[in-house]
Amino acid sequence: MTNRNQAVGAYGERCALRHLIATGLRPVDRNWRCTAGEIDIVAWDGDVLAFCEVKTRTGGAYGAPAEAVVAAKVRRLRGLAVRWLAATGTTADELRFDVLSVRLPRTGPARVEHLKGAF
């Protein structure tokens, strides 16, 4: 991954985090890593614990951001959620997996679409 792609991704995650907070979610972890991968954002939505994957795009050449969350990524994120719960000792009656699609136009503000329960 190039430095530019890393910067775009990091900016997209900050936009997504602001969106989550503005809509009432309470973030508890960000960029949690283990040997199996990374969870972008973990946040409480009331009594529901949401594991959030953030995908950012600057153009349409590679499709919609959410299209990048393919079956292999879904499997990995579910496994990461189990690891996160075990590592943190957190319990929740309900878990949810969300995708936040962030589009960065050439001008103007970022557009964030929050797909709750995406998978």
pLDDT tens digit string along 46-94?
Answer: 999 999 999 999 987 777 889 889 999 999 999 999 999 999 999 999 9
Q: In a 3-state reduction of DSSP, which class is residue 32?
A: strand
Per-residue model confidence (pLDDT) at position 47 = 97
Q: What is the pTM of this model?
A: 0.92
pLDDT tens per residue across span 26-52? 999 999 999 999 999 999 999 999 999
CATH assignment at residue 109: 3.40.1350.10
Structural domains of the chain, count? 1
Per-residue model confidence (pLDDT) at position 65 = 86
Per-residue model confidence (pLDDT) at position 76 = 97
Per-residue model confidence (pLDDT) at position 112 = 97
- Name the band, by pLDDT with cuts 50, 70 and 90, for residue 5: confident
Asked if pLDDT for residue 1 goes beyond 70, the answer is no
Q: In a 3-state reduction of DSSP, which class is residue 97?
A: strand
Per-residue model confidence (pLDDT) at position 62 = 73
CA–CA separation, 111 vs 102, rounded Å?
A: 6
Domain range for 31 is 3-115
CA–CA separation, 118 vs 15, rounded Å?
A: 19
